[in-house]
Amino acid sequence: MDPILRLEAIRHSYGDHFTLNIPELGIQPGEIFAVVGPSGAGKSTLLRILNFLEKPQQGQVYFHGAAYTSGNLPIELRRRMTTVFQQPLLLRASVWGNVSYGLRVRGSRNGHETIRQALEEVRLAHLAKQSADRLSGGEAQRVSLARALVLNPEVLFLDEPTANLDPGNVRIIEEIIRRTNQERGMTVVWVTHNIWQARRLAHRVALLFDGEIIETATADAFFNHPQDSRTRAFLTGDLIY
């Protein structure tokens, strides 16, 4: 199957020390693809390049086989993907106002039912009218997830969305992502430093270390038969960083 997103010969430097260097990476439609790696490995940079929010200094990013950059990606294509970041960054509006934002910028006026369903899915329907700045961290992140889900994106990017949450909220978010992926066939690219989360959810996993992808494999192969010594060290917690 042709990948929905593909990176080719990507090189991107930050400062003097860090360079993201990815010769080739493909994301298959309908899969949950987890990118794991220690802090500072370049996971978030990789995500920003994959979702066309940042233009790589070298290389190409393909969406459905065509190369685009963050500058020339048509808005209709940009609107087929969205991202949930580690920090929810909600607008100074009600919960409903936040969840409806993406629909409003698309000029959609018939999203009432979709918004209601998304809020029910993240178990926040009772807080629809509440101001977003009164939410707890977990609730805010669930609102952030709901505002992504109402858009029914083809690709959902998740940049460590559960990094700061308690186990209860982590479980809710993981369940929603798994169900959404299964029911809607939504492609999910999930960046996490939590290998257990990747093990629970991902179909395929890549280890990013010092800006390079060390190993990409199906979840089963990655966790049970890692090929690279650094993957084994990362899984056992012996990789020092």
Partner 1 sequence: MEIFLNGLRQALALIMSLDPSLIEIVRLSLAISGLALVISALLGLPAGLFLGLKDFPGKRMVVALVYTGMGLPPVVVGLTIYLLLSRQGPLGDLGWLFTSRAMIVTQTILALPLIIGFTMTAIAAIPSALIMQLRSLGATRRQVVLTLLYEARSGVLAALVAGFGAIISEVGSVLIVGGNIEHKTRVLTTAIVLETRKGNFSLAIALGIILLTITFSANWLLLHLQGHLDPRQQ
Residues contributing to the site for partner 1 (CB under 8 A) = 48, 51, 53, 75, 78-79, 81-83, 85, 87, 89, 91-94, 97, 101-102, 105-106, 131-134, 147-148, 151, 157
Nearer to partner 1, 68 or 101 (CB): 101
The CB-of-1 to partner 1 minimum distance in angstroms stands at 25
Sign of CA dihedral 142, 104, 94, 134: positive
State how far the Cα of 172 lies from the Cα of 178, in Å rounded to an integer.
10
Work out how close the CB of 147 gets to partner 1 at its nearest, in angstroms, rounded to a whole number: 7
Integer distance in angstroms from the first to the last C-alpha of the chain?
36
Minimum CB separation of residue 224 from partner 1 in Å reads 34
Q: In terms of CB distance, is 154 or 215 closer to partner 1?
A: 154
Taking the least distance from each CB to partner 1, the nearer of 18 and 101 is 101
Question: What's the DSSP call for residue 1?
Answer: -
For partner 1, the closer CB: 134 or 225: 134
- Residue 233 CB, shortest distance to partner 1, in Å, is 32
What is the nearest approach in angstroms of partner 1 to the Cβ of residue 129?
A: 8
Distance CA 114, CA 102 (A): 12
Taking the least distance from each CB to partner 1, the nearer of 97 and 226 is 97
Angle at which helix 137-149 crosses helix 112-121, to 10 degrees, equals: 140
User: In this complex, which beta carbon is closest to partner 1, that of residue 104 or of residue 171?
Assistant: 104
Give CA–CA dist 145/141, Å, rounded: 6
Residues 6+ positions from 138 with CB-CB distance below 8 Å: 165, 166, 168, 169
CB of 102 to partner 1, least distance (A): 4
CA–CA gap between residue 200 and residue 170 (Å, rounded): 12
